[in-house]
Amino acid sequence: MGSSGRVRLLCLLAGWLLFCAVPARAADLRYLQLGAGPSGEHAFVLGGLIASVLSNPPGLRPCGEGGVCGVPGLIVVASGAEDGVATLRRLGAGSFDAALADADMAALAARGAGPFAGRAEPSLRALGRVGDDVLQVVVRAGSGLRRLADLKGRRVAVGARGSASAYHAGLLLAAAGLDGRVRLRALRGPEAADALAAGRLDAVILTDALPSPAVAAVAEHLKIALLPLPPSVSAVLRRRDPLLRPAQIPAGAYPGQTEGAATLAVGLDLLVSARLPEALAGAMCAALWHPDSRAFLAQSHAGLPDPAQAAEGLGVPLHEGARRCYAGEAVPAPERATP
């Protein structure tokens, strides 16, 4: 089967034949802004990669012929974001068209709970899970800190205010009986990792992909260790946050890290608003999971799930267009944008 035949078959299987058959024109360009994580976090890098596979401006080679397999006429621009709360607020308000966020943060935003208390964001919808963020407690190897209980009285970075790291660190410290018993520092991942290396911190608690870019950079010249979460603490955390699930940080996840650590992980979701047209949401879903797109993403993002699992463990409902995409139902092609 030739490349054009493979593309046609893929479109039929996904239910998007009409969409795939219509080429984009320059006058039909549509721009979307994707809120990624802060610089120094994996979500920031992943946001740029996802923007690349969703975009398909005129003049590029066709999908299947060495070109991109994005949505014809769509250009997605990834933008850095201050923190998880601000990102989801901007998505709810419409200043972002899409965003990356942890599933439990999205669920809290939709309910108006936790750091989103006072104003819910009920319009949030998911296009799918695109990875996992892992709860990590990082210390200097040889520091004598081997258990969570050893953090009592220590200087601990817990993420910037409003971040997923800050939310998860708060849950973790409370579950471990350390709430109010550590010296908190509100530092983002890169700043916290640098402070750990400089001896200004004893530990860093963060939620990021594995490996976290900030931790990996420090581990190149500082031997680190990761503290395991005791089963009793993990059980409390999962009761309070059911979207957390057991995970294992293997030895060697970071340079010089010789011991693994039991921990918890949460899905990293690609979110949009319910206001996004159904056909466009479906086309974005199909473009995201096209085999060529998956191969491109996997080069720099090892945590990409199988499409069959991408609709599991979400914090908010699937957008109807994405639901139809995963179900293989055909929908009309996206309407042409008006410049």
Torsion angle of alpha carbons 124, 130, 135, 141, nearest 10°?
Answer: -150
Same-domain status, 152 and 260? yes
Percent of the chain residues past pLDDT 70, beyond the cut: 89
Same-domain status, 106 and 10? yes
Specify if 332 maps to a domain: no
Same-domain status, 43 and 74? yes
pLDDT digits (tens, 9 = 90+) for 103-149: 999 999 999 999 999 999 999 999 999 999 999 999 999 999 999 99
Q: Which domain holds residue 246?
A: 133-266
CB 137 within 8 A of CB 203: yes
175 φ/ψ angles, rounded to the nearest 5 degrees = -65, -30
Specify if 298 maps to a domain: yes
164-175 and 103-111 helices cross at what angle (nearest 10)? Answer: 90
pLDDT for the residue 66: 81
Same-domain status, 67 and 162? no
Is 70 exceeded by the pLDDT of residue 288? yes
Write down which residue in 220, 241, 266 finishes a domain.
266
- Report the CATH number that the domain containing residue 85 is assigned in CATH: 3.40.190.10
Is 70 exceeded by the pLDDT of residue 47? yes
Count of domains forming the chain: 2
Specify if 236 maps to a domain: yes
Same-domain status, 141 and 126? no
pTM of structure: 0.89
Same-domain status, 57 and 158? no
Same-domain status, 316 and 227? no
Look up tokens 């290396």; give the residue: 197
pLDDT digits (tens, 9 = 90+) for 223-279: 999 999 999 999 999 999 999 999 999 999 999 999 999 999 999 999 999 999 999
Rounded distance, CA 333 to CA 302, Å? Answer: 31
271 φ/ψ angles, rounded to the nearest 5 degrees = -115, 150
